[in-house]
Amino acid sequence: MPERSTSSQGVVVGLIGAGTVAAWFLFLDVLQGRPFFTPALLGSALFQGLRDMDQVEITAGVVLGYTAFHLIAFIVLGIIAVAAVRRARRTPPLILGIILVFVTLQALFLGSLTIAAEYVLGALAWWGVAVGNLLAALAMGIYLWKEDPALKQAVERKPFHRKQ
């Protein structure tokens, strides 16, 4: 079977990540008795500059607008992830670099959110954001691992061990 292009596979990977994060926050929102609060909060902050979470109105326009933004961001991330994984086929230790970049970006994202919009992080809880991003990264990584036999073969050659 021919390999799909980086962009088409990246779209799939991005949709997996976006769907995972969306499902996670929908789950948390439903548990708290406020379905779709998270995309409404983030959409209100992003599009309307809202700074008071008590003024968030859950409307279809804001939720759908943020969902579109979220999908596009994850699709771009998915394309970057596929390109990095394909590069890791030739240089398997790059996988460690990918993991370190993820951890660094996670810390940067949470730190930036704390500085720029602490009210958002207060409403969502930092651990909820961290868990959502971790779940998305795991889902995306599992998909890529299963769909990329060349990556498995490269890693199985034990590239992290020195020859004696």
Is the pLDDT reported for residue 161 higher than 70?
no
In a domain, residue 162? The reply is no
Report the pLDDT value the prediction gives residue 159, as an integer from 0 to 100. 52
Output 72 or 51, whichever has higher pLDDT: 72
Rounded to an integer, what distance in angstroms lies between the CA atom of residue 104 and that of residue 109? 9
Asked if residue 80 lies in contact with residue 10, where contact means CB atoms within 8 angstroms, the answer is: yes
pTM above 0.85, yes or no: no
The answer to whether residue 141 is domain-embedded is yes
Q: 36: which 2 tokens? A: 């779709």
Question: Per the domain annotation, does 161 fall within a domain?
Answer: no
Q: Is residue 133's pLDDT more than 60?
A: yes
What's the whole-number mean pLDDT along residues 101-113? 83
Q: How many domains does the chain have?
A: 1
DSSP codes, 39-103: HHHHHHHHHH----GGG----HHHHHHHHHHHHHHHHHHHHHHHHHHHHHHH-TTHHHHHHHHHH
Is 33 inside any structural domain? yes
pLDDT score, position 113:
74
Max mean pLDDT range (23-37, 75-89, 112-126): 23-37
54 within domain boundaries: yes
Q: Is residue 1 part of a domain?
A: no
More confident residue, 36 or 129: 36
Which DSSP letter does residue 148 get? -
Residue predicted with more confidence, 64 or 54 = 64
- Supply the range of the domain harboring residue 145: 6-156
| Structure tokens, 100 | 């370190």
Contact 62, 39 (CB under 8 A): yes
Q: Which tokens hold the place of 53?
A: 């979470």
Residue 163 has pLDDT above 70, yes or no: no
The whole-number average pLDDT for the span 91-98 is 84
The CA R_g of the chain, rounded to the nearest whole Å, is 18
Q: Which of 58, 60, 20 is nearest to 38 (CA)?
A: 58
Locate 39 and state its tokens.
Answer: 């995309």
Calpha distance 45→17 (Å, rounded): 22
50 found inside a domain: yes
89 is a domain residue: yes
Pairwise CA distance, residues 48 & 142, whole Å: 36
